[in-house]
Amino acid sequence: MSAALISRSPDLRRLDEEGFELEIRAGFLLVHAVPYVKRDGTLARGVLVCPLTLDPSGETTVAPADHTVFFAGETPCHRDGSPLVSIINNSDHRDLGNEVQVDHYFSSKPEGTGRYESFYDKIVAYEGHLGRPARSHDATANARTGRKVVTTEDSGPFQYPDTASARYGVGAVSGKLALGRVAIIGLGGTGSYELDLVAKTPVREIHLYDDDQFLNHNVFRAPGAPESASMKGFPTKVGHFASIYSRMHRGIVPHPVRVTATNVDELAGFDFVFVCVDSGSARRAIAEGLHRLSVPFIDTGIGVGLDADKNELDGCARVTFVPPGCDWSVVERLLPFGDDDEDGEDDVYNKGIQIADLNALNATLAVLRWKRWAGFYRDARGEANSAYMVEGNMLSNRGS
């Protein structure tokens, strides 16, 4: 990824051709061996770190998002050892993720527009701020060393750099989501929206389980807008969504099968599972298996009913989190296992009405709960069950 992006981007290629030591890692441009003066007046070399901005294809750079950069090294100084306060915005050690750690945050706007037109202009300017004091000591001190940084091609889960995490400085916290294997059981409305969100995280593998075909009515409760031609072959849901999201995320594995009591053991060793089924008996079989295998999971469900007199819809969206070691009696109390053909208090989950916005909300609540479990978001309460009620726009939570 580093070599390809550098070769395709005129500004990076120019930096490379002039001899700057470039590396691209986790959505950042790293420029190594930049000379600077330390407080004691001696010379050292540090690393300029800048979030990349790419075109929509992810194949070439566009103008930098702002005028700032990070720096890894000691406090850079003038020739006399006084800090370069004109460019140092703050000094605070930060972990940006993927072993990118920095110590300072620089801010220096170019004259005129206040924005750098390219990464070449930006890097040359900051190298000048640091290098000029260094060259007053040693005229040969220059970041243009001509050496190449030895890197391996990006083997992460994404097909192109995650510049969003780099841009907002959340790479380290995003790393908490870098689980090995996550499964989504059921690629209907809620499950497909869950995939849309999980595919934007650094999970290594995302396994999709569903034996149904992707039909016309599914289009109206799923993310995106598929071409009609892609549906003429009656693709499976897992095949359809795997083909789309594999454009962004590696390691998406479709399983065109229904998960039952006979094959649920295939999920042994998974790090997390999302369950999106609309059958009480199927939910029970999957929950019993995952509970026995000590695999943490989230079960979701929506229930929508039509008031024929008022010609209005009402309903709810539920998210239930089951951690490993949870007593089975608690699981039975939280999850609706009612008979699929029997009217009762669980019947709201079996009406069959699906609405895209409720599917999307249900998926979002599920992914938010997963991220709190993983430590991505703060979680002081650890709720086991959440229910969103359409009437009143209310969200209620309760523990186990």
| Across 117-129, average pLDDT | 97
For the entire predicted model, the pTM comes to: 0.82
DSSP β-ladder status, 43-51 and 68-72: antiparallel
Looking at residue 55, what DSSP letter applies? -
Q: Is the pLDDT of residue 153 over 90?
A: no
100, 118, 226 from 104: Cα distances, Å: 13, 22, 46
Q: Is 146 exposed, middle or buried (0-12, 13-18, 19+ CB in 10 A)?
A: exposed
pLDDT, tens digit, for every residue of 248-295? 999 999 999 999 999 999 999 999 999 999 889 999 999 999 999 999
Query: What is the number of H-type helices and E-type strands within the chain?
Result: 11, 14
Rounded CA gap, 325 and 322, in Å? 9
- The pLDDT value recorded for residue 218 is 80
Rounded CA gap, 277 and 268, in Å? 19
Q: Tokens representing 147?
A: 């050496």
Name residue 219's amino acid: V
- The pLDDT value recorded for residue 345 is 44
Least confident of 5-19, 204-218, 313-327, 336-350: 336-350
- The pLDDT value recorded for residue 348 is 46
Q: Three-state SS for 122?
A: helix
| Across 48-64, average pLDDT | 91
Rounded CA gap, 71 and 87, in Å? 11
Q: What is the residue-averaged pLDDT of the chain?
A: 90
Q: Is the pLDDT of residue 54 over 50?
A: yes
- The b/e string for 296-334 (b: 16+ C-beta within 10 A; e otherwise) is bbbbbbbbbeeeeeeeeeebbbbbbbbeeebeeeebeeb
pLDDT-derived band at 151 (thresholds 50, 70, 90) equals low
pLDDT, tens digit, for every residue of 82-106? 999 999 999 999 999 888 999 999 9
- Polymer length in residues for the chain: 400
- Residue 89: CB atoms within 10 Å: 13
pLDDT, tens digit, for every residue of 305-317? 888 788 889 899 9
- The pLDDT value recorded for residue 155 is 64
Least confident of 64-73, 91-100, 227-236, 386-395: 227-236
- The pLDDT value recorded for residue 351 is 52
Q: Is the pLDDT of residue 172 over 60?
A: yes
Element (H, E) at 274: strand 272-275
- The pLDDT value recorded for residue 343 is 40
